[in-house]
Amino acid sequence: MSAHHPVILPDGHATLGVMGGGQLGRMFVHAAQQMGYRTAVLEPDPASPAGLVAHEHVRTGYEDVIGLTALANVAAAITTEFENVSAASLRQLAAHRPVAPAGDAVAVCQDRAAEKAHFVASGVPCAPHARIESDADLAAVDVSTLLPGILKTSRMGYDGKGQRRVADAAELARAWSDLGRVPCLLEKMLPLAAELSVIVARGADGCCVHLPVQRNLHRDGILAVTTVPAEGIPAATQDAAIASAGRIAAELAYVGVLCIEFFVLADGSLVANEMAPRPHNSGHHSIDSCDVSQFDLQVRTLAGLPLVQPRLHSPTVMLNLLGDLWWDAAGRERTPDWAGVLALPGTHLHLYGKAEVRRGRKMGHLTVTAATPEAARALALQVAAVLGFEPF
């Protein structure tokens, strides 16, 4: 390992820091503590899921100079749990401590246009697209090839936010106005057959490993179900997705955990959709289904420890638990039937410790493991029936 990114062993004193206090930070903290590290979280919310379980909680904003200095003083190395943390803050921290992923890599993931350009530079196909940042850009759009399409804000979009479907030039103009005329990217709508994600972990030495390919189902732009193995996806397509993810990470000189979402088109071809510079919702199953989870990999890449190829020991289905499940069909608030779910074999409940339940808010996830993919799916459908989760 280079001097710029030294090996940090879990000696009982070493502290690993994370920017952000959400559920991803919480699961990183759990993985780091299990390996023997102390942990520190920078997050303004005093009741954040990660802040509540970390050894140290720096309660400031993500760009607060005093808070960043405090985190750098206590942590031997620092990572992030969400992509919208300031890249400038990560660069500031990197002047004092190893930071993975680097601010420059996160900056690419924060801008859809830069992200698409990176896919192209990596030799990975993506949807035809056009940048719209001015009236001239809007007028120059080739409507014959790019519409119908999806207009997306270039920055700060996630879980389907900041997006509009557009069928013609008039709808496109209205959508850009509705989005505040901020810089946007128009992507051509493609005939989709399936959605996949690949999570890779790349060390400072260039070693790269990956989780099994994951097949995902989204509802209203939010991940609902992840299935591993990726049912119905040819091995050649999965191999191509893994190879593409590796090239994308290498081209960024990336260090850390990186998720790439792919579309499988109706003709069987593969295009990259977007990437996230952190562990990903679709990889949460790995805590229960693999011998090395995505959060273990995040700890290893940050601390400069050896990377080993994760092995799937149990076929799995993961259900994303949104706040909607806390209301019944009549709109009455309730507590989901956790006892009924946990009475089923192979169920693993993960709630994130969020104090306030809101519709559409990610409150937890539930992983189902079984001896075969068919058994995992059947059991997951039983879980769905108990919870009132829409079947899949």
For the entire predicted model, the pTM comes to 0.95
Element (DSSP H or E) covering residue 192: strand 192-202
Residue 375, judged by CB atoms within 10 A of its CB (0-12, 13-18, 19+), counts as: middle
| One domain for residues 139 and 249 | no
Q: Is 43 annotated as a binding residue?
A: no
Tell me the C-alpha distance between 221 and 215, whole Å.
15
| Lowest-pLDDT range of 125-129, 159-163, 201-205, 239-243 | 159-163
Q: Is 195 annotated as a binding residue?
A: yes
| One domain for residues 230 and 173 | no
b/e code 304-338 from CB counts within 10 Å (16+ = b): bbebeebebebbbbbbbbbbebbeeeeeeeeebee
Mean pLDDT of 82-97: 93
Angle at 295 between CA 231 and CA 378, to 5 degrees: 30
Residue 154: partners with Cβ closer than 8 Å, 6 or more residues away: 111, 112, 113, 131, 133, 182, 183, 184, 185
| One domain for residues 151 and 277 | no
pLDDT of residue 1: 41
Tell me the C-alpha distance between 321 and 268, whole Å.
31
Q: Is 346 annotated as a binding residue?
A: no
Residue 109 has pLDDT above 90, yes or no: yes
Q: Is 281 annotated as a binding residue?
A: no
Q: Examine the fold and report which residue of 136, 159, 188 is the final residue of a domain before the chain moves on.
A: 188
> Residue 79 belongs to what domain range?
15-99
| One domain for residues 305 and 365 | yes
Q: What is the residue-averaged pLDDT of the chain? A: 95
| One domain for residues 163 and 216 | no
Q: How confident is the model at residue 158 (pLDDT cuts 50, 70, 90)?
A: low
Within-domain flag for 145: yes
Q: Is 103 annotated as a binding residue?
A: no
| One domain for residues 376 and 251 | yes
Q: Is 116 annotated as a binding residue?
A: no
| One domain for residues 320 and 202 | yes
| One domain for residues 222 and 253 | yes
Residue 4 has pLDDT above 70, yes or no: no
| One domain for residues 150 and 220 | no
Q: How confident is the model at residue 156 (pLDDT cuts 50, 70, 90)?
A: confident
Q: How confident is the model at residue 160 (pLDDT cuts 50, 70, 90)?
A: low
Q: Which domain CATH number covers 239?
A: 3.30.470.20
pLDDT of residue 157: 64
Please give the backbone phi and psi of residue 149, each rounded to the nearest 5 degrees, phi first: -150, -175
Decide: 141 and 131 in contact? Cβ < 8 Å. Answer: no
Q: Is 274 annotated as a binding residue?
A: yes
